[in-house]
Amino acid sequence: MDRSPGGPRGPVTTLTLPVLPLTDAVVLPGMVIPVELDGEARAAVDSAKAKATNDDDAQLLIVPRIEGKYHEVGVLATIDQVGRLPNGRPAAVLRAVSRAKVGQGVNGPGAALWVEATTLPDRISATDQEKVDKLAAEYREVVQEILGHREENDGGWQVVEMIRRITEPGELADIAGWAPYLETEQKLRLLETAEVAVRLELVLEWGKQQLAELQVAATIRDDVRESMEKTQREFLLRQQLAAIRKELGEISGDDDNPEADPRARVEAADLPEKVRTAALREVDKLERTGDQSPEASWIRTWLDTVLELPWNVRTDDRTDVGDARTVLDADHAGLDDVKDRIVEYLAVRNRRAARGLEIVGGRGSGAVLALVGPPGVGKTSLGESVARALGRKFVRVALGGVRDEAEIRGHRRTYVGAQAGRIVRAIKEAGAMNPVVLLDEVDKIGADYRGDPAAALLEVLDPAQNHTFRDHYLEVELDLSDVLFLATANVAEAIPEALIDRMEVVRLDGYTELEKVAIARDHLWRRQLERAGLESTDVTIDEDALRLIAGEYTHEAGVRQLERSLARVLRKVATKLAGENPPETPIDVTVETLKDYLGRPRFTPESAERTAVPGVATGLAVTGAGGDVLFIEANAAPGAQGNGEPELVLTGQLGDVMKESAHIALSYLRSQGDRFGADPEELRGRRLHVHVPAGAVPKDGPSAGVTMVTALASLLTGRLVRAEVGMTGEVSLTGRVLPIGGVKQKLLAAHRAGLTEVLLPARNAADLDDVPASVREALTVHLMEDVADVVALALEPATTAQVQHAA
């Protein structure tokens, strides 16, 4: 059979073919289509290839599937090529050869549906030959006229040339399969019709209908264009008439309204020289552009934006360093690191101003600080306090979920609805060139096909570059070097390395219980009293109750849950006071009455309960919400090697690094377990299972290594892990305890959990200086170098039975 586009359609034959169904799509002979190889398509193509002697002879039957039903007529197709689409998905290029009637189903190789199919060659009777030729010529002319009405005629000449080369009338009728104006039902009718004369009559009728619609649309379009040209001509003449009347003195100009004259506004504004030159250039362009042109509106909007920016406005910084520190201490308890950094910045700026070094080489003395810490520690509210301490304007820019690079650098003016980026809008909102700009949630910036906003922030947050920042909308230089940028983030690792390298990271690792009580007493309680509509004479709360709420009703690094608990208490107090028999005021909230307002405590120390059986150790970890305790559980069962089961099973959504720590722990116990009474022989033939609750939370990192060794050692020796001990550290294959990060957050978590002893790597000794003194005094910290010493210190003393068992 000849499969070339211009060849004969072949005699009537019966074939056994695999079926490729196409949902709501109709393919006519002569069409070449790509098909994505999903389940059914893959099965059909593979089955066709399996039956054929070579790939060139592979054939299948393409059948339309309309509303879930297979059509009775399809097309016989060959497989031209199998490859991948631009998106990487597998696909095949199929060439439809001839019509075929679908017969009964048969058995065939592969997973595809096989049927018997009878080919339906084109039919032209001897008496219809002259009629068919005339119909083909007329249809060829109609198609060429339809293509001539296309508004975008790219590639239309190629279609015309293809039509001219087609000599077979049946093939000419079948090219209607590509026509976008034909419905699926019309294409099915063409597929069912083997008589060439009937097909040509159908496509000619449909083509004439489409041509008539296009001609009507073209007439309407020409009328609209003529009307617009007339309107524009009248507008031009009226503008000329107005100019003539103005010259004759018959009407007055806009001299009485300077705001209406863009040139006067630009000349009167206090603009830098380069900005003034760019603005006057846009004014010249505006004066040459008619008011009805869309470009005039764009230019006016751009001029409004430029003139609203405070180019030469700067606020005076607070000069008294002591006053600034007083403001910071009044607004926030603790957070000494960031307070010290702000005071240092202010002191340096005052020294530079005193020596005349305020601006050197176009670069100001701005700063970029990244406040990194768990939720609820006061990162966002700290920005307002910093602005108040410095006497500057404050603007917050929320970046969480931003995915478009233009949100930072602005849109090009060629786009409809273009506007300046968020940085420029923040400067305009502040009304000064040296505000405090808080870039909130910078670690939650996304990236997609519209660009990477984090990459656009590289110039904004680089003090060596941001004095010449260019917004895509403004296209003039904007000096950001005097802006104090504060970025907030929960996880520093989520910030791109190049971006965090431009910021000075200040970590806010959470509050101690004493700090939480102070914050609740001095800030949260007063704020919630106001929100509940109560006065200090209506209700009081003692510090013991605040301490109980902070320690046993909340479990967090910040104070958000603490504030919600206080709000709940005050809501219940307000309800009591609004009842029929209100109690006498003030109502005292104490430790004894706290249960009436908040119910039972939710977070009580559980280390003793969890470590009451061998094989459970208490570790310390850092999450996006701050530090937390992490219990690692281990147990053993016989028969790991005999039935093909793995000798070590790990559960709890562990990352690759944490899984490697478990394997290192097991290898260490096998080689050196006898150092603390564990018999390595007991590991043979046993199936060990290590689990890290909570199983729904993903976990990773190397700092659980010593905890895993301790849990497995407790399991093998039968000795309990001491309930008051928590530990953290990476372990090497030789038993060395390696340093880890997040020491301050982990010790705060240990303190919250009621632990009294913590085992740390010896090389983390310097990190203890960052831990609050009250926490260091409450915890006994042991610095360890060898994991054997960790196990010896963490396990309970061995009983006589355990010693005999080990022997």
Annotated catalytic sites, by residue?
703, 746
Checking 478-481 for CB contacts under 8 A at 24+ apart, the result is 478/309, 478/424, 478/427, 479/362, 479/364, 479/433, 480/366, 480/423, 480/427, 481/362, 481/363, 481/364, 481/365, 481/366
Query: Which string of b and e fits 14-25 if b means at least 16 CB within 10 Å?
Result: eeebbbbbbeee
Element (DSSP H or E) covering residue 441: none
Angle between helices 129-148 and 196-247 (to 10 degrees): 20
621, β-bridge pairs: 628
Tell the residue number behind the tokens 């609050």, with chain if given.
772
Q: How far is CA 202 from the centre of its chain?
A: 52
Task: Report how far residue 275's alpha carbon sits from residue 277's, in angstroms, rounded to the nearest whole number.
Answer: 5
The DSSP bridge pattern shows strands 686-691 and 90-106 to be unpaired
**70 forms bridges with which residues in the sheet?**
65
Q: How far is CA 311 from the centre of its chain?
A: 34
Rounded-to-integer distance, Cα 321 and Cα 319, Å: 6
CA distance 298 to 288: 14
Q: What phi, psi does 472 have (nearest 5°)?
A: -60, -30
Other beta carbons within 10 Å of 383: 25
Half-sphere exposure of 520 (CA within 13 A, CB side): 31
Cα(567)–Cα(549) distance, integer angstroms: 12
Helix (H, G, I), strand (E, B) or coil at 91: strand
Would you call 346 helix, strand, or coil by DSSP? helix
d(CA 113, CA 344): 78
Of the CA atoms within 13 Å of residue 254, those in its CB half-sphere come to 11
**Cβ–Cβ under 8 Å, residues 629 and 619:** yes
In three-state secondary structure terms, 528 is helix
Number of other CB atoms surrounding residue 29 within 10 Å: 26
User: Element (H or E) spanning 370, and its range?
Assistant: strand 367-372
List 540's β-bridge partners, or say none: 588
- d(CA 425, CA 367) in angstroms, rounded, equals 20
* The two three-digit tokens of residue 477, written as one number: 């230089």
| Pairwise CA distance, residues 276 & 274, whole Å | 5
Pairing status of strand 477-478 against strand 469-470:
antiparallel
- DSSP label at residue 508: -
Distance CA 174, CA 257 (A): 69
Which amino acid appears at position 400 of this protein?
G
SS3 439: strand
CA distance 657 to 289: 64
Beta strand 737-738 with 730-731: parallel, antiparallel or unpaired?
antiparallel
What stretch of H or E contains 650? strand 648-651
Region for residue 245 given its phi and psi (left: phi exceeds 0; alpha: psi -120 to 50; beta: otherwise): alpha
Let me know: does 747 contact 775? Beta carbons within 8 Å: yes
Q: How far is Cα of residue 384 from the mean position of the Cα atoms in its chain?
A: 27
Q: Collapse the DSSP code of 161 into the 3-class scheme (helix H, G, I; strand E, B; otherwise coil) and give the result.
A: helix
